[in-house]
Structure 1
Amino acid sequence: MNDTKPPTGPLERRVDDNDWVELADELHAYGNALTRRLLTPEECRQIAGLYDEIARFRTTVDMARHRFGSGQYRYFSHDLPAPVRELREAFYPCLLPIARDWADKLGRPAPWPASLGEWLEMCHEAGQDRSAQILLRYGPGDWNALHRDVFGDMLFPLQVVIGLDAPGEDFTGGEFLMTEQRPRAQSRGSSTTLPQGHGLVFTTRDRPVATKRGWSNAPMRHGVSTVRSGRRHTLGLVFHDAA
């Protein structure tokens, strides 16, 4: 998926043009999957540049203060910038069949309607009415502890992070990390270098894995390894709102 062809056209088409059968297979196998390039370097710089426009965000989180790691991130307000809103709306219908399939395998309810707007209304009615879209900034020595972005009972099982800087040029280190707690076995880890403009779809909380007794849930967590040099920005797309 690490193609070099410059993306063109509406963001909805760029997301839809991915091979979603292949991505679903990777998600089933590993709990994460890298998309094609979705954004140009200039588009990435424009989104990363929003970080300093404080009025766009509802809050800023200092990770060291909360013992989440080191670095900083900001939650957008509900008045999302156009590319952030368009990317989120484009991903939801592509991820929905995977989410429903996982729920079926695990014998869980699949409450997600066809429309992202309808789903967010359900979140708000349940008391989860704060925007959870994140812009993150890491500098040298910064890292993100392994965690899950679960903000209440209303949960979408997949989310997306998009790289806004070029690894090896703008920063070194800062790999995306995932751990999977395997049934009756030790945990398994993976790391992914996130190319600029590409998205990584990954598991929010857990995913189904086949066992001799049928489908079982494998709890998963994600984080970021230590940034060794430079500055790393990423955009986090979450498909449920926060309490």
Structure 2
Amino acid sequence: MTTTTNAKDTFARRIGGADWPAVTDEINDYGCALLPRLLTPAECADLAELYDRADLFRATIDMRRHRFGDGEYRYFDRPFPEAVRRLREELYPRLLPIARDWYAKLGRDAEWPDSLEEWLEICHRAGQERPSPILLRYETGGWNALHRDVFGDKVFPLQVVINLNAPGEDHTGGEFLLVEQRPRAQSRATATLVPQGHGLIFTTRDRPVMSKRGWSAAPVRHGVSAVRSGRRHTLGLVFHDAT
């Protein structure tokens, strides 16, 4: 058995170990849902250490310079680290039924095929060819403004973030923030402190919510609260590529 096969089986087992009906209910209720541990502490440390390997990335973004917040993030270039590639491949088919259900409720065409590879080919034919997995680094005082990760016309409505550091040990603060504009109502905010190695699924752009007129699309933005102390690294897994 090869290392590649072992890695596929490992990530498939971890992702398959989630209570997916409960995860689906939670994300339908709140627009986000925690997953069990997807990466061990050692795997988290290995990924965080890659941040200083500039050769692995296609671009580096200074959030303060662009008024996105205070911190820095880097877009991985191909080929991806094994863990990044496997997590994306194994998560996509688990998220796909939720995505299709959401678009059915909103009366939209769900164009996503059964495999991530096929979907990314569609993105590439539409001119969205640049890889989208992100590694983020926040120092003390760092934060991320509310935003959406929409990189073109082709959008997958769910994405996943994984905290590579241990809250309360490596950093304080740095909660994941989700703000949803409810139909004809005030915005609703959700804050989640993601445990080390755990995934958080969340809404990319909008999601269906029930209103008096039926299902409506509620716009959603996400960000990160101020890191009070320490350093926080996160892995962002977006399931559509960029223009």
| TM-score, shorter chain, exceeding 0.5 | yes
Q: Which residue does 2:30 correspond to in 1?
A: 30
Q: Which residue does 1:208 correspond to in 2?
A: 208
Per-residue CA distance 1:156-189 (angstroms, 9 max, x = gap): 0000000100000000010000100000011011
Q: Which residue does 2:128 correspond to in 1?
A: 128
1:107 and 1:35 map into 2 onto residues whose CA distance is 28
1:36 and 1:115 map into 2 onto residues whose CA distance is 23
Deviation at 1:211, TM superposition (A): 1.3
1:1-243 alignment, distance < 5 Å:
10-243=10-243
TM-score normalised to the size of structure 2?
0.96
Per the alignment, in what secondary structure is the counterpart of residue 98 of structure 1? helix
2:180 and 2:130 map into 1 onto residues whose CA distance is 28
Gaps of 5+ in 2: 1-8
2:89 and 2:200 map into 1 onto residues whose CA distance is 16
CA RMSD of aligned residues (A): 0.7
Q: Which residue does 1:4 correspond to in 2?
A: none
Deviation at 1:12, TM superposition (A): 1.6
Q: Percent same amino acid among aligned pairs?
A: 68
Q: Which residue does 2:5 correspond to in 1?
A: none
Give the letter aligned to residue 42 of structure 1.
A
Per-residue CA distance 1:169-223 (angstroms, 9 max, x = gap): 0000100001000000110111000100100000000110011211001100000
Contact kept? 1:206, 1:220, Cα under 8 Å? yes
Give the letter aligned to residue 150 of structure 2.
V
1:49 and 1:23 map into 2 onto residues whose CA distance is 30
Deviation at 1:116, TM superposition (A): 0.4
TM-score normalised to the size of structure 1?
0.96
Q: Which residue does 1:3 correspond to in 2?
A: none
Gaps of 5+ in 1: 1-8
Give the letter aligned to residue 184 of structure 2.
R
1:125 and 1:161 map into 2 onto residues whose CA distance is 26
Count of residues in correspondence between the two structures:
235
1:199 and 1:84 map into 2 onto residues whose CA distance is 12
Contact kept? 1:78, 1:130, Cα under 8 Å? no
Deviation at 1:78, TM superposition (A): 2.2
Give the letter aligned to residue 126 of structure 2.
A
Per the alignment, in what secondary structure is the counterpart of residue 107 of structure 1? coil
Per-residue CA distance 1:109-166 (angstroms, 9 max, x = gap): 1000001000000000000000110000000111000000000100000000001000
Per the alignment, in what secondary structure is the counterpart of residue 10 of structure 1? helix
1:80 and 1:138 map into 2 onto residues whose CA distance is 22
1:81 and 1:179 map into 2 onto residues whose CA distance is 31
Per the alignment, in what secondary structure is the counterpart of residue 228 of structure 1? strand
1:20 and 1:26 map into 2 onto residues whose CA distance is 10
Deviation at 1:33, TM superposition (A): 0.1
